[in-house]
């Protein structure tokens, strides 16, 4: 039996699993998908918000700014790229300027440091490519950008290195409380645990209802994006939001941590918790909306579109509390935006609840907060490259020509704890397929490496879910 089962390996579940490994506990991290971070955590704006937006007195307000301040440490420990580039909220008329001033006031209440209201001239100087209609902006220098899935994978890897067991492709189908333990039904048999963290994203209400009354509901709310080529990634230097108005929040334009340009999202409430399609109508909408920020975006440089589902809670705020119907069951639910930004603080808050109900926790004296550094070949000097190739010749073979990713990097990310097992899992970890050709050239090579390293028949190597098969049979037999 486990002491703790964490259901859901998104940013909330992986942060919590890693926090738990600081204690002497038997922990299991469970996810229904083929990879870590395959839910909302793989598809969002990737912004570590400064924290002025959330209303004071809410959990979002409390945990956003706190989480933001924790990012430098965790990203350094886990060797994950994070850039504190700052954000603007732009205004094009007096009504929007009013909204900018409101956000500034809210930011003051939330203790957001170093915010400033910029004049038209200051905006132009700092962001020369923005629309000439902009009359001012809120500047929040503590906002940042991160790679959410790389962070989540790194957290899971570090949790694994510190003793947490990770069970992927394990779907929780039911659960019951028996005396002092939970019996979890999954597609791979029963799992028993004394405590549960429910971090199941858009399914968190369903998991909650397995042990108690319906106390909240999750409404999946889709947001769609365009990602543009790195050649236009430096069009803006900061995250550029539009001032919220009566007709909506507008869209953002931002560089990504790897140097692409991100445009989106919209918001579309849905019934379907798996509806991750993109639609030409919505993509057209976000493109049109972005013109308010700048008309200089060359959408012919779009390399892909994607969408993500917000886990919008009926309560309007994060739900982080022990269930009233099942003691030892802690909901970490309704983690919509700014859930990524708040995630380190969400984990701390949830662990505090756990410590209050479990007072005899002992420290894990062997806890190691750092993970083995990742070799990013193209970021090395010529001397370092030569050195690494001398040690392992696979770093001398380029597999992905768009992103310049070597075989050595791919092999390394397969063979770590929480290693990649699908083509998309490799793409998320070390980026082959993230470039212009979107895996058209490197995809088959990645499949070969996966099959070889995992000792699998290449026909069993899938793109992402088990249903997304790529090869079915040989066409030319010797
Ligand atoms: C369009 C959009 C833009 C956003 N932008 C930002 C932003 O810029 N900044 C920010 O701070 N936040 C942002 N967010 C919010 C942020 O992405 C989320 O708060 C965060 O990713 C939620 O993480 P999570 O771990 O709660 O959920 P998820 O990442 O969805 O993880 C839940 C996991 O539970 C698993 N699961 C579900 N059911 C079961 C089951 N029955 N059995 C086993 N496993 C199960 C799923 O497979 C999944 O992996 C955005 C969200 C969206 C959709």
* Residue spans per domain, the chain: 2-41+148-217+315-357, 87-141+219-311, 377-460
Decide whether any atom of ligand 1 lies within 6 Å of the 200 Cβ.
yes
d(CA 232, CA 384): 29
How much distance in Å is there from the Cα of 40 to the middle of ligand 1?
3
CA distances from 417 to 218, 367, 405, 421 (A): 32, 15, 20, 11
How much distance in Å is there from the Cα of 37 to the middle of ligand 1?
8
How much distance in Å is there from the Cα of 188 to the middle of ligand 1?
23
**Under DSSP, is residue 203 helix (H, G, I), strand (E, B) or coil?**
helix
d(CA 305, CA 282): 11
pLDDT at residue 202 in the model:
98
Residue closest by Cα to atom 25 of ligand 1: 10
Decide whether any atom of ligand 1 lies within 6 Å of the 264 Cβ.
no
Q: Which of 49, 188, 238, 258 is catalytic?
A: 49
> Residue 417, preceding bond cis, omega within 30 degrees?
no
What residues contact 260, with CB distance under 8 A and at least 6 apart? 227, 228, 229, 230, 233, 303
Whether domain 2-41+148-217+315-357 has CATH 3.40.640.10: no
How much distance in Å is there from the Cα of 437 to the middle of ligand 1?
27
Decide whether any atom of ligand 1 lies within 6 Å of the 7 Cβ.
yes
In which element (H, E) is residue 401 found?
none
Residue closest by Cα to atom 33 of ligand 1: 8
How much distance in Å is there from the Cα of 31 to the middle of ligand 1?
12
Token look-up 């979890």 returns 184
d(CA 151, CA 451): 25
Residue closest by Cα to atom 1 of ligand 1: 223
Residue 6, token pair as written in the block: 């964490």
Decide whether any atom of ligand 1 lies within 6 Å of the 282 Cβ.
no
What residues contact 212, with CB distance under 8 A and at least 6 apart? 323, 324, 325, 326, 329
Nearest to 47 by CA among 142, 129, 131: 142
**Under DSSP, is residue 144 helix (H, G, I), strand (E, B) or coil?**
strand
With beta carbons less than 8 A apart as the criterion, state whether 399 and 378 touch.
Answer: no
pLDDT at residue 385 in the model:
97
Decide whether any atom of ligand 1 lies within 6 Å of the 11 Cβ.
yes
- How long is the chain? 478
CATH architecture of 377-460: Orthogonal Bundle (1.10)
Starting at the edge strand that comes first in sequence, how are the strands of the sheet with 144-146 ordered?
Answer: 47-48, 144-146, 82-83
| Best mutation site among 339, 350, 422, 465 for ligand 1 pocket (most ligand atoms within 8 Å of CB) | 339
How much distance in Å is there from the Cα of 426 to the middle of ligand 1?
20
| Best mutation site among 175, 201, 248 for ligand 1 pocket (most ligand atoms within 8 Å of CB) | 201
Decide whether any atom of ligand 1 lies within 6 Å of the 334 Cβ.
no
Decide whether any atom of ligand 1 lies within 6 Å of the 319 Cβ.
no
- 384-432 pLDDT per residue, tens: 999 999 999 999 999 999 999 999 999 999 999 999 999 999 999 999 9
d(CA 219, CA 474): 44
d(CA 144, CA 82): 7
How much distance in Å is there from the Cα of 96 to the middle of ligand 1?
30
Decide whether any atom of ligand 1 lies within 6 Å of the 169 Cβ.
no
Residue 112, token pair as written in the block: 């957001």
Give yes or no: 238 in active site: no
Decide whether any atom of ligand 1 lies within 6 Å of the 12 Cβ.
yes
pLDDT at residue 227 in the model:
97
d(CA 80, CA 342): 17
Given CA atoms 29, 35, 41, 47 in this order, what sign does their dihedral have?
Answer: positive
Residue closest by Cα to atom 14 of ligand 1: 337
Decide whether any atom of ligand 1 lies within 6 Å of the 423 Cβ.
no
pLDDT at residue 89 in the model:
98
CATH architecture of 87-141+219-311: 2-Layer Sandwich (3.30)
pLDDT at residue 478 in the model:
67
d(CA 478, CA 476): 7
Decide whether any atom of ligand 1 lies within 6 Å of the 123 Cβ.
no
> How many Cα atoms occupy the beta-carbon half-sphere of 464 within 13 Å?
9
- In this prediction, the residues of the chain whose per-residue pLDDT falls under 70 are 478
């Amino acid at each position: 039996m486990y002491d703790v089962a964490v259901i859901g390996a998104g940013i909330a579940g992986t942060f919590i699993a890693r926090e738990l490994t600081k204690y002497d506990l038997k922990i299991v991290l469970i996810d229904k998908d083929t990879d870590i971070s395959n839910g909302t955590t793989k598809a969002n704006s990737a912004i570590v918000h400064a924290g002025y937006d959330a209303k004071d007195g809410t959990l979002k307000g409390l945990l956003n700014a706190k989480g933001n301040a924790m990012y430098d440490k965790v990203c350094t420990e886990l060797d994950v790229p994070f850039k504190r580039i700052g954000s603007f909220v732009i205004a094009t008329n007096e009504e929007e300027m009013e909204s900018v001033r409101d956000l500034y006031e809210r930011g003051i209440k939330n203790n957001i440091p170093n915010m400033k209201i910029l004049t038209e001239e200051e905006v132009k100087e700092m962001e020369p490519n923005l629309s000439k209609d902009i009359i001012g902006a809120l500047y929040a220098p503590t906002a940042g950008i991160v790679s959410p899935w790389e962070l989540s994978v790194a957290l899971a890897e570090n949790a694994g290195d510190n003793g947490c067991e990770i069970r992927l492709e394990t779907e929780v189908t039911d659960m019951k409380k028996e005396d002092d333990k939970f019996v979890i039904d999954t597609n791979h048999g029963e799992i028993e645990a004394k405590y549960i963290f429910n971090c199941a994203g858009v399914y968190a209400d369903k998991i909650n209802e397995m042990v108690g009354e319906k106390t909240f509901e999750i409404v999946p709310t889709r947001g769609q994006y365009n990602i543009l080529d790195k050649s236009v990634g430096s069009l803006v230097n900061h995250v550029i939001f539009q001032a919220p108005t009566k007709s909506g929040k507008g869209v953002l334009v931002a560089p990504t941590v790897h140097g692409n340009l991100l445009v989106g999202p919209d918001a579309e409430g849905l019934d379907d918790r798996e509806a991750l399609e993109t639609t030409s109508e919505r993509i057209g909408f976000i493109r049109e909306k972005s013109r308010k920020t700048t008309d200089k975006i060359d959408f012919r440089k779009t390399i892909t579109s994607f969408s993500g589902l917000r886990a919008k809670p009926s309560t309007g705020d994060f739900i982080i509390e022990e269930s009233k119907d099942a003691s030892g069951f802690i909901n970490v639910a309704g983690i919509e935006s700014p859930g990524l930004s708040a995630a380190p603080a969400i984990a701390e808050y949830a662990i505090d609840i756990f410590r209050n109900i479990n007072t005899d926790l002992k420290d894990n004296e062997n806890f190691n907060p750092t993970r083995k550094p990742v070799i990013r070949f193209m970021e090395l000097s010529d001397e370092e490259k030569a050195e690494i190739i001398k040690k392992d010749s696979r770093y001398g073979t380029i597999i992905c020509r768009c992103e310049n990713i070597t075989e050595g990097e791919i092999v390394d990310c397969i063979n770590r704890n929480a290693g990649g097992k699908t083509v998309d899992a490799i793409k998320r970890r070390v980026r082959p397929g993230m470039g212009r050709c979107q895996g058209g050239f490197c995809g088959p090579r990645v499949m070969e490496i996966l099959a070889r390293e995992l000792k699998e028949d290449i026909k069993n190597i899938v793109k992402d879910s088990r249903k997304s098969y790529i090869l079915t049979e040989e066409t030319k037999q010797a």
